[in-house]
Structures are given as C-alpha cells and as structure tokens.
C-alpha cells in the first residue's frame, strides 16, 4: 500500500515542478512584452511629433484647394453668359423670319436670363457685357415687335358695320392661331422690355402697336356710320318735328357695341388681365374721339333747331347712355369717356325743357290775330304733338328731369342744374319719373291755356266767341290726351282740365244770360190768378193772361219780342262758330239746359198772349226744343 502512494506523490511533485517552471517562463515572456510595448510607445511619440505638422499643412492645403475650385466655378458662371451671348447672337441676328418663332423666343428668353444674371453680379468688369447683351436683346425685341405688327396688319382691313348689323352677324375677330402667336410674342416682349427698362414704363411696345393698328381699324370701320349720323340729321322741312329712329345714331351705337365687344374678345387672350384696363381704352380712344366729334356736330344741329329736334337729343341720350352701360357691364371699361362725350347734348336737352315752355308762351303772346270763328289755333295741336312725342322718350327725360328736380325746368333753375354720369337706375322710369313728366306736361298745358285765355280777351270780341275759342282748344287738348300715351300719364291733370272746360263753357254762356233774363218775371202770390202749386201742368195761360193789366201784357210782349231777337241773334252767332265735335255737342246741351226750362215755364204762363198768331210767341215748347237740339 505504501509503495503505490509514494509513487503517486512523486508524480504529483513532478507536475508541480513543471508548473512552476512554466510560470517562470511566463514571467520572463511578460517582461519581454512589456519592454516591447514601452519601445512601441516611444516610437509612436516620435512618429506623432514628426507627422503632426505635416497633417496640419495638408488640411490647410485642402481648404485652399476647395476655395480655388469655388472661385473657378464662379468665374465659369460669370463667363457663361458671355459665352452664351456668342451662341444666342447667331440666332437673334438671323431674325424670326429665318429661325422658327419658338426657337427665336427661346433664344431671347436665355438672353434675358443671362442679362439678369450679369446685372445681379454687379461686377464692374461685366458692364461691357451687360451693354452688349442689352443691345442684342433690344435688337431681338424690335424684330419680334415687327412680327407682332405684321400679324396685326394682316387682319386690319376695315369692315362695313352695317353688313353685320342688318344681317345680325357677329363682328369678325382674329383667328385663334394668330391670337396664340400674338400672345407668345407679347409675353416675351413684355418680359424683355421689363428687363431692359430700369424705370416704371406704363405702356409696353406691343401695347402701343396693338392700340395703334387696331385703333385705326376701329376708327376707319366706324367712319361711315359717323358720317351717316350727321347726314341723316339734316332737315328737309324746317318746322318738322324729329321722328324717332330717323337718325343713324342708333345704328352707329349698335356698330360701336358690336365692334368694341369683338375687339375686347381679341385683346383678352393676348394681354394679361392687368393690361386689359390699359390696352382696351387706349385701342378705342381714337374712335371714341370721332364719336365725341360726331355728337358735338349733332349737338350744334340740335341747338339750331331746338324746338323741333330736341327729341333727337333725347333719343341720343337714351341710345348712348344704354351703350355705355352695356359696354361697362360686359367689359368694365369705357363708361366714363362715353358719358363725357354725351355731356354737351345732356346740357342742351336740359335747357330744351325750359325753352319749350318759353316757346309756347312766346308763340301765344306774339299772335296778332285769332280765328274770328272761334276755331282753335294750330299752336295747340303743335304743343300736344310735342307732348305726345315726348312719351316715346320717357327714359332719357326721366334722367334729365331727375337731375333738374321737380320744377327745375323753369328758365331760372335749368341753367344751374347738376351733371351726372347716367346709371341703370337713372333710366328706370318708375313712379317718380312718370310723376315728373306729368308735372312738366301740366306746366306746359297751363302755360298754353292760360296764355290763350289772356290773348282771346285781347283779340276776340264777345264773351261767347272767347268761350268758344277756349272750349275748342281745351277739346283738342283733351282729345289728344285720350288718344295717346298721355292718358296714362296725365291722370292727375284731369281735374284741372275739367276746370278749364267749365270755365270756357261759363264764358260762352254769358251772352245767353240776356235771353234768359227776358224769361224771368215777377209773380205776386197775394193776387188772384197766381200759379197753382201743381206746377206748369196746372197753369191755365188764358186765365193768367186775362188777369194781367194792359201794362203787364205790354211788358210780357216786350220781353217775348226781346227774347226772340236776342235768341235768334245768338243762334245765328252760334252757327257761325267753328266748333269741335265735342264742343258743339257740349255747348248745345248747356244752352238747352239753361234756356229750355225757363222758356217752357214762361210759355206755359203766357203763350195765349198773342192768341196763337205767332207775333210774339214764335216757338212752342217742342219747336224750341228742336231748335236747341239742332245746335248740336
């Protein structure tokens, strides 16, 4: 047992010795590694000290190199427009007639961009290049402007507006392909012009060219209508009242509206919305100047023939004001210049209202004779014809009278009236407009009838004749009111006209008071033979006559004799009068209502005075009634 144990211990002792030997070797190896690390650290410090300055210099060199590259790139960018100028110059110098238009405008775009880049660089060394590119861009833009002009001139042949108006055709517009080309050219020219112009310029070259060429087209196309408006205003009969629609101003306005709207459709696709408000009025300006000139000539004509042709003025106001409103609604422009062109005629028409009143008054006052048969004067018919004619112009008259104010048509206030631009509301003939016209017409009729009454008292002898004269004129006024649009407008004047009719009738009946007076007698109720309360049917003429004294009988005979004389004289005079149909019937009824009851009562009492011999009693009741009925 001992021997094996000793063997095991010897073996383990040997292994321990081997382990210690290995540990010794490991310690020696560790010392060697530590020495190597120390040497490596020393070498690293030496390398760092040697390479550190070199690395710093390398970073500086890299930064410098990067800066140099950027400078080179900047120089290349600056030189690029200069190089591009040489490339674009060949295209631009060739012109748009030899180079496709799209390529030509693309070259201009690049040139514009290059010029902008050079200006933004703000380098003194680039000033020469800026000048050269500006010159090149101007050349290219000029050539584009010429193409723009040529395209417009191809469609600038004048048209005859009457052809399109009568056949109700739309006025011609530019073709779509031309509009497209014009739009492109305008866009490029406007951009180039903005680049070349350092100041704010209100109008670009293409705007000027368009306004010039198309403006001339409008003016020439409308020239015939302008001339026709003046020509058709000339009078063939000096005292003839203007008839609505006989002047060509309505056709002129139609032509203007049609061709102006067509022109608006032309320019809208070509120019930007911001440019419309400049280009459109500028294009229409020359033709509007001619229109204004035409209206001035017509105004001169109206002023020379104011009493007959003021109606032309009213028509012009309505037509032109409607034109301005319609154009303003559809285009947003031209209302002010058209309204300004109308101002002279508006002022003339304002004064015409006072002048018409004054003319009516003066024409009556200057009459040196009136019809001796009591017939009406032609002035009444003329005055009513003018009022009837006015009803066709209620819209412009409403506008004029509104601006004058109620009663403002008097001579003193008409000259101080205000002027305003017409609006849609001012041409709305509502209750106010109709009422103002009714007031004016009432003033006109009062002026006419009151002055005729005064003149008749001066020139006509006899109240009967004066009454007939006034009745005839009142009848014509009433008849012409009832037979026209005046009836609906002058309802408020009916009571005044009825007063005039009653006044004229009363004047006529004044001479009939004389025979009426002869039929009056005195009855004494305390005497025998007085009439019974039953009335005329119970009157016994023989009894009454028998109860009269000789003196009373002579008085009754004298009354009958005087009545017969006066009655027959008035009958003869009445038959000599020229009576309007209505007046004849009316006056006959009025005379009958006055004479017949009185005569009937007188006849019932005293017809036995001459015992049927007819010496004093020339008419029985039926004969008198028939005679009076014959007056109508």
Q: What does the domain layout of the chain look like in residue ranges?
A: 61-199, 203-366, 508-522+539-630
Say whether pLDDT at 547 is over 50. Answer: yes
- Classify residue 236 by its DSSP letter: S
Confidence (pLDDT) at 607: 79
Confidence (pLDDT) at 435: 92
Q: What is the 3-state secondary structure (H, E, C) of 137-198?
A: HHHHHHHHHHHHHHHHHHCCCCCCHHHHHHCCCCCCCCCHHHHHHHHHHHHHHHHHHHHHCC
Average pLDDT estimate for 591-605: 88
The whole model's pTM is what?
0.76
Average pLDDT estimate for 533-544: 61
Confidence (pLDDT) at 488: 93
Whether 354 and 401 have beta carbons less than 8 Å apart is answered as no
Q: How confident is the model at residue 11 (pLDDT cuts 50, 70, 90)?
A: confident
Whether 152 and 213 have beta carbons less than 8 Å apart is answered as yes
**What one-character-per-residue DSSP string does 544-594 give?**
HHHTS-HHHHHHHHHHHHHHHHHHHHHHHHHHHS---HHHHHHHHHHHHHH
Of 54-58, 205-209, 470-474, 549-553, the one with minimum mean pLDDT is: 54-58
Confidence (pLDDT) at 526: 47
Matching residue, tokens 């100047």: 289
pLDDT in tens, 65-105: 777 777 766 655 555 555 556 666 666 666 666 676 667 76
Confidence (pLDDT) at 360: 95
The helix/strand/coil state of 461 is: coil
CA distance 595 to 619: 12
Say whether pLDDT at 402 is over 60. Answer: yes
Average pLDDT estimate for 588-598: 90
- Comparing 8 with 296, the larger pLDDT belongs to 296
Beta-carbon contacts of 346 under 8 Å, excluding residues fewer than 6 positions away, are: 317, 400, 419
Confidence (pLDDT) at 605: 87
CA distance 608 to 476: 46
CA distance 197 to 249: 45
% of the chain at pLDDT higher than 90: 49
Say whether pLDDT at 429 is over 50. Answer: no
Q: How confident is the model at residue 266 (pLDDT cuts 50, 70, 90)?
A: very high
Say whether pLDDT at 535 is over 50. Answer: no
Confidence (pLDDT) at 1: 55
CA distance 139 to 89: 10
Confidence (pLDDT) at 437: 94
Q: How confident is the model at residue 534 (pLDDT cuts 50, 70, 90)?
A: very low
Whether 242 and 309 have beta carbons less than 8 Å apart is answered as yes
Say whether pLDDT at 537 is over 50. Answer: no
Q: Which of 602, 498, 591, 490 is nearest to 541 (CA)?
A: 602
Phi-psi category of residue 243: left, alpha or beta, with phi > 0 → left and psi -120 to 50 → alpha: beta
Confidence (pLDDT) at 395: 92
Q: Which of 368, 315, 323, 321 is nearest to 343 (CA)?
A: 321
Confidence (pLDDT) at 129: 63
pLDDT in tens, 273-298: 999 999 999 999 999 999 999 999 99
Instruction: Count other Cβ atoms within 10 Å, centred on residue 43.
Output: 10
Burial of 574 (0-12, 13-18, 19+ CB in 10 A): buried
Whether 80 and 57 have beta carbons less than 8 Å apart is answered as no
Confidence (pLDDT) at 439: 94
Beta-carbon contacts of 485 under 8 Å, excluding residues fewer than 6 positions away, are: 388, 391, 392
Q: How many CA atoms lie within 13 A of 231 on its CB side?
A: 7
CA distance 46 to 429: 112
Task: Output the CATH code of domain 508-522+539-630.
Answer: 1.20.1280.170
Say whether pLDDT at 533 is over 60. Answer: no
Q: What sign does the CA torsion over 583, 584, 589, 594 have?
A: positive
Average pLDDT estimate for 165-174: 94
């Amino acid at each position: 047992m001992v021997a094996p144990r000793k063997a095991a211990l010897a073996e383990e002792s040997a292994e321990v010795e081997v382990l210690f030997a290995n540990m010794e070797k490991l310690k020696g190896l560790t010392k060697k590694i530590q020495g190597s690390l120390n040497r490596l650290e020393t070498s690293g410090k030496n390398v760092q000290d040697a390479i550190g300055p070199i690395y710093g210099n390398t970073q500086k060199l890299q930064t410098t190199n990067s800066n140099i590259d950027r400078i080179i790139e900047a120089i290349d960018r600056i030189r690029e427009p200069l190089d591009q100028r040489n490339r674009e110059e060949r295209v631009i110098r060739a012109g748009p007639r030899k180079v496709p238009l799209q390529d030509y405008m693309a070259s201009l775009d690049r040139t514009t961009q290059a010029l902008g880049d050079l200006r933004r660089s703000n380098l003194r060394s680039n000033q020469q290049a800026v000048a050269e590119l500006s010159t090149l861009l101007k050349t290219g833009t000029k050539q584009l402007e010429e193409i723009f002009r040529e395209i417009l001139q191809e469609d600038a042949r004048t048209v005859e507006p009457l052809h399109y108006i009568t056949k109700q055709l739309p006025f011609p517009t530019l073709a779509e392909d031309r509009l497209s080309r014009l739009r492109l050219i305008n866009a490029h020219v406007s951009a180039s012009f903005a680049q070349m112009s350092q100041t704010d310029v209100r109008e670009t070259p293409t705007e000027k060219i368009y306004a010039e060429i198309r403006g001339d087209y409008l003016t020439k196309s409308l020239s015939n209508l302008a001339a026709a408006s003046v020509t058709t205003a000339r009078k063939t009969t000096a005292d003839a009242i203007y008839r609505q629609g006989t002047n060509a101003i309505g056709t002129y306005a139609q032509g203007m509206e049609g061709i102006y709207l067509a022109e608006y459709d032309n320019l809208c696709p070509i120019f930007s919305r911001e440019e419309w408000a400049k280009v459109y009025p500028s294009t229409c300006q020359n033709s509007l100047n001619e229109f204004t000139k035409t209206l001035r000539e017509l105004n001169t004509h109206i002023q020379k023939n104011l009493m007959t042709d003021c109606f032309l003025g009213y028509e012009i106001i309505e037509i032109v004001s409607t034109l301005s409103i319609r154009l303003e609604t559809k285009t947003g422009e031209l209302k002010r210049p058209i309204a300004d062109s109308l101002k002279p005629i508006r002022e003339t028409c304002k004064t015409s209202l006072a002048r018409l009143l004054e003319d009516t008054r003066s024409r009556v006052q200057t009459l040196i004779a009136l019809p001796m048969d009591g017939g009406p004067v032609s002035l009444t018919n003329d005055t009513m014809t003018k009022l009837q004619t006015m009803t066709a112009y209620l819209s412009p008259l409403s506008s004029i009278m509104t601006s004058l104010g109620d009663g403002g048509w008097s001579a003193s206030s008409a000259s101080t009236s205000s002027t305003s631009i017409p609006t849609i509301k001012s041409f709305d003939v509502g209750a106010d407009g109709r009422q103002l016209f009714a007031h004016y017409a009432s003033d006109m009729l009062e002026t006419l009838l009151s002055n005729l009454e005064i003149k008749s008292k001066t020139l006509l002898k006899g109240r009967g004749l004066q009454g007939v004269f006034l009745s005839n004129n009142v009848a014509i006024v009433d008849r012409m009111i009832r037979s026209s649009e005046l009836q609906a407008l002058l309802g408020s004047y009916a009571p005044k006209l009825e007063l005039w009719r009653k006044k004229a009738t009363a004047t006529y009946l004044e001479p009939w008071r004389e025979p009426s007076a002869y039929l009056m007698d005195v009855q004494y109720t305390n005497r025998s033979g007085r009439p019974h309360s039953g009335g005329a049917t119970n009157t016994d003429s023989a009894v009454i006559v028998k109860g009269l004294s000789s003196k009373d009988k002579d008085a009754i005979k004298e009354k009958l004799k005087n009545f017969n004389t006066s009655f027959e004289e008035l009958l003869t005079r009445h038959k000599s009068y020229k009576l309007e149909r209505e007046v004849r019937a009316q006056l006959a009824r009025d005379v009958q209502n006055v004479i017949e009851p009185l005569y009937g009562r007188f006849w019932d009492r005293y017809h036995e005075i001459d015992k049927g011999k007819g010496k004093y009693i020339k008419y029985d009741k039926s004969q008198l009634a028939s005679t009076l009925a014959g007056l109508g």
